[in-house]
Amino acid sequence: MDAIRQRLAKILMLAKRGVGGEKKNAENILRRELQKYGLTIDDIDSPHTFSKPVWREYRYKTVEESRLLMQCLSSIVNLKKINVYKRRKKRELLLELSTLDHMELESMFVYYRRLYAHEKDVLFKAFMQKHALYPRDSEDDGQEMSREEIRQLVDVMNSLKQSNYVSTRRQLEAKKC
């Protein structure tokens, strides 16, 4: 985590000593990073600031995101040693974290939320294909897939259970015969 503080210090130095567009760009990046982590320029030089626990809000949209957030948190800190308050109506967690833990949680949650959304989409497509839950008479939807995407879809399909579902229509037709 010391690397994050060093990175912010380098950006600060560039914002102070840079020239023209380089300086402006560094100032913008620094402002954005400081705002993201709830820091000030003075905090960059103070290692104490990075270890002091502060209450922070973490918003989520779904129950799955809440669970993902807690899993990310548990991989960073010992949950028995952290204060957690859940506001269900606002869909947010209040956590008492150090700045370093906050930065790690923030970046980890953003990364894994995107990855989870992608993986969930792949699972949905594989599930639909495996169980033939698509219109029988429709033409190709025009979505091109790469070989890697097809391989991934087939791998996921193969890992799913085979359904024993028999449609009511087929059952009725079988009884008529």
52-67 confidence digits (pLDDT tens):
788 888 999 999 999 9
Name 52's Cβ contacts closer than 8 Å, sequence gap at least 6.
Answer: 98, 99
What sign does the CA torsion over 28, 34, 38, 42 have? Answer: negative
- The verdict on 10 and 58 lying in the same domain is no
- The verdict on 96 and 129 lying in the same domain is yes
The string over 16-25, giving b where at least 16 C-beta atoms fall within 10 Å of a residue's C-beta and e elsewhere, is eeeeeeeeee
What pLDDT, in 10s, does the model give residues 98-129?
Answer: 888 888 899 999 999 999 999 999 999 999 88
> For residue 140, is it within any domain?
no
- The verdict on 46 and 57 lying in the same domain is no
- The verdict on 46 and 128 lying in the same domain is no
pLDDT, the chain, mean: 84
pLDDT band at 142 (very low <50, low <70, confident <90, very high): low
pLDDT band at 141 (very low <50, low <70, confident <90, very high): low
What pLDDT, in 10s, does the model give residues 149-171?
Answer: 889 989 999 998 888 787 788 77
- How large is the average pLDDT for residues 9-17? 87
- The verdict on 130 and 151 lying in the same domain is yes
Domain total in the chain = 2
Q: In this predicted structure, what is the pLDDT of residue 154?
A: 92
Instruction: Report the 3 state secondary structure along 103-161.
Output: HHHHHHHHHHHHHHHHHHHHHHHHHHHHCCCCCCCCCCCCCCCCHHHHHHHHHHHHHCC
Whether the per-residue pLDDT at 47 is higher than 70: the answer is no
- The verdict on 35 and 58 lying in the same domain is no
Length of the chain: 177
Q: Which residues form the domain of 74? A: 53-134+145-177
- The verdict on 26 and 102 lying in the same domain is no
CA distances from 144 to 29, 121, 147, 157 (A): 37, 16, 10, 18
What pLDDT, in 10s, does the model give residues 67-95?
Answer: 999 999 999 988 777 777 787 788 888 88
- The verdict on 151 and 71 lying in the same domain is yes
